[in-house]
A and B are shown apart, each in its own frame.
Chain A
Amino acid sequence: MGFFKQKKHQPVQEKVIREDKMPPHRSTASLEKNIQYLQQELRNSTDLKIRLLPGNKQALVYLDDITDPDKIQRYIFEPLLKTEGDITKIKDREESKDLNEAVSSLLEGKALYLIEGQSTCYFFNVQQNVTRAITEPMNEKVIKGSHDGFNEDIKQNINLIRRRIQHRSLTIKKQTVGDYTESEIALIYVEGVVNPDVVKELETRVKNISNDALLSAGAFSEYIEDRTYSIFPQFLSTERPDKTVAQLMEGRIAILFANNPTCLIAPVTFFAFYQSPDDYNTRWLVATYIRLIRLFSFILAITLPSFYIAVVGFHFEVIPEDLISPVLGAIRDIAYPPIIEAVMMVVVIELIRESGIRLPSPIGSTIGIVGGLVIGDAIVTAGLVSNLMVIVIALTSLASFVVPSNEMSDSLRLLTFPLIILSSILGFIGIAFGLLMVLIHLCRMESLGLSYFTPIQFRDLKDTVIRVPQFLMKRRPEQLQSPRPYKSNELSDDDGKK
């Protein structure tokens, strides 16, 4: 099939060296030369401030926008006055004779103190911290339970986790990714609970990322996930520290990002996307009931429209006799075949949803009402879509929004389309084929080398399909092959008996 191939030509480009891998550049004794080098390396950027101190023998260099003037006053000038200008007597300082290191330090928000006639540079940490307050994540609200959430500051995020797991085995491994951005990421796991092979696997994958910029958690997951072409998410993303900690204690790995409130959790199973911290805060019977509803909604979300199309288009024998005349009355005068109706209605719902997200919240709700009520009513009266189809599609999208995880909900809504098409071509057989393919795909998927659709065996049902009381959940999930399979020091059998 040479027809489809295009000629490849390799463009030439310079290699970018990461800041922390720059070869050293020795500083000189001349203040002017040093300053000149810094200015040149930072491309004469205007926010580079050079303050010559009285006598022009000493200079303080810093990037204006990322440093805190208060801190400069407190950590540099005030101590300088006390020691009568002797910089070597100030305690909180770092030294170096490498000007390239000086440049990296400036970029981190440190101030550089240079003295004429000395080749040693002194650094002071005067970084300005811009953080958002800790608030509950908008998209993962719970009724009961802790209401804090991650924010953009990775230090604060790690703080939130450390406060919840006060044990020395909580391991935090920081790395940077992206040659330009040098984004900091932190792999967090509980040593002794996590499967070491999985950690090794994840570390290799992270090491192999080569990119100029790492912008988001979603992009990151695409670099390291097992199947990029799959429709299903393979990392659980959350902004909730309580959820993260619960997953850490199951033996999973959390990945935190600097400047990003999203935390990725791997390896996961399909059912992890259907669990919510709410489940563990309510009575177990209630939680089980809600879990079952969520799983039912999974089936509903992907099959309901296709089921309806198959019934109306192929197998009207299955309509119960009491429903014949209502159904017939509803669809009699509709001009389009059911598949067009369904696609039309799905698109309408997506439009309402998407416009509702982008608009500010007071207008967003108005759009919901206008879209939902007015269009929904008018489209039926106009005879474009039958009122049964409106019910079907509305139920479908409701069912897809029940999923606690946002990505899974999006995947589900996308998954309805192939099934709609298949059912409009082959009826029930088409749905059977479609579901079979989805199931085969799910069974073949892996998350960090561990199976994604873990065999549904009885022991794992306890915290997936249903939720049993805590004392019955003695083991960690089988999927993770944790070196510490039991959740407590006292070994007991599955029934909670010792």
Chain B
Amino acid sequence: MKKLTIILISCTLILSGCWDMREFKEVKLGITAAYDLTDDGVYTNTILIPNVQNSAQGPGQESTQFLTATGSTASEARTNIDRRLSSTYSPAQLDVLLFGDKLARQDIYPYVDAYYRDPRMHLDVVPVVVKGNAEQALKVVPKSEIRPSEYIEGIIESEVETTNTLETSLQAIGSELYEEGEDFALPLLQVGDGGKTVSYEGLALFHGSSYTGKDIPFGHTTLFLLMKRVKGKVARITVKIFDGEKPETNNNTTINIEDYSSKIKTKPDKQNKVRADITMDVTVMIQEYPQDHLSLSKLPEVKKNLEQALTDQAKETIRIIQEANSDVFGIGRSIYGHYPDYWKKLDWEQDFKNIKIEPHIRVNIRSRGIFR
């Protein structure tokens, strides 16, 4: 009896197991995928698959393969891709997901839904919006890159380091996709140089799960991210602090943010329904100052102009955000948390545009350069 039991148990083990085997070498992994909506209302899905030549010695040479398929729904487009591949397509290792702005304006949720459901998928896929055609951006493969499949990912990563975009992923935007009180922003790319390069253009503002069409332009992103309390390894801002100096470049200065603190205080307000105060203290180092007569007597003026310029920039950014109706600071969530009764009376969809958001920026110049 004992022997029979052992045989039966080992049979259940051996006979049931291998079914689930998915061999790595028999799968085509998509690294980057792009979704577009053409003018005719047809969905196109393009994927980039890295292929490696056999490498008995050293790492193999990587080549990339592009596949484009169309379909009337997103999943049909994906099925059409699979039909053209020698082995099964798996998006499990996807790193970047590109959306054409036309499609993003509609709704991105249907395309990312599968990632939240299938446990085998990566949730740290970076969703990115492309101005124009996403497929075109995907197909830009500069020869200088060792691993062409990681070109776009590399752009985003380096921008995160210089505080121009925030580290985002499907995991990070998961709750904001449907939450009323907070929205999100995604990196915005554009194909430039006549289709030879892809450049980072700023942050695309979302409302709900669709793109509003409004962006925070590249020069304003650093200050915006600092207000949102996100800082990469370095943060530099170039602002215009003087007027009418000759030559024109002398009007500008570049500051390096060494230390900062930022606080957003929200409270109900009679006049504007909600009032939010963004208080920010930054300690900066003057990195570039073409006038080169930064004496101690001039410093207070520079400081004052700097504060003024930064506040202006912040106000401009806030104006764009409110126009886009994209609550990226999470002011609604904060109100909901602190004044739940008051929140019930608000119609955030309409009210956000009219609330008062006031930036208060104080600058402290710590260093003027090593010669000074």
Interface residues of A (CB under 8 A from B): 1, 4, 311-314, 316-317, 319, 321, 324-334, 337-338, 380-381, 383, 387, 422, 424-427, 430
Contact = CB atoms under 8 A, between A and B. Distances in A.
Contacts, number: 92
20 contacts: A311-B24, A313-B22, A314-B21, A316-B22, A316-B90, A319-B93, A321-B31, A325-B52, A325-B60, A328-B24, A328-B29, A330-B60, A332-B54, A338-B23, A380-B56, A422-B13, A424-B17, A425-B18, A426-B13, A430-B17
Interface in B91-106: 92-93, 95
B59 interface: yes
A316 B54 contact: no
Given A316-B92, A325-B62, A331-B25, 10 more contacts: A1-B3, A312-B24, A317-B92, A328-B29, A328-B52, A332-B25, A334-B25, A338-B23, A383-B56, A424-B21
B57 to A, nearest CB: 8
Interface string B220-263: 00000000000000000000000000000000000000000000
Determine which residue in B3, B25, B149 has the highest number of CB atoms from chain A within 10 A of its CB, and name it: B25
Contact of A316 (B4, B52, B93): B93
Contacts of B93: 316-317, 319, 321, 324
Given A316-B93, A326-B60, A333 B54 contact: yes
Contact of A427 (B20, B29, B31, B122): B20
Query: What interface size band does chain B fall in?
Result: 35 or more
Contacts of B120: 317
Given A1-B1, A312-B24, A425 B62 contact: no
A334 B21 CA distance: 17
B144 interface: no
A313 B23 contact: yes
B295 interface: no
Contacts of A337: 21, 23
Contacts of A324: 29, 31, 50, 93
B55 interface: yes
B14 interface: yes
Contacts of A424: 17-18, 21
Interface in B1-20: 1-4, 13-14, 17-18, 20
B308 to A, nearest CB: 44
A164 to B, nearest CB: 49
A330 to B, nearest CB: 6
Contacts of B4: 1
Nearest to B55: A329
B50 A387 contact: no
Given A314-B21, A321-B95, A425-B14, A329 B59 contact: yes
- In the A-B complex, the 9 residue pairs with the smallest Cβ-Cβ separation, listed nearest first, are A425-B17, A329-B60, A329-B52, A329-B55, A316-B24, A312-B24, A333-B54, A325-B52, A317-B92
A317 B17 CA distance: 19
B22 A314 contact: yes
Nearest to B119: A317
Nearest to A4: B3
Interface in B243-287: none
A14 B23 CA distance: 63
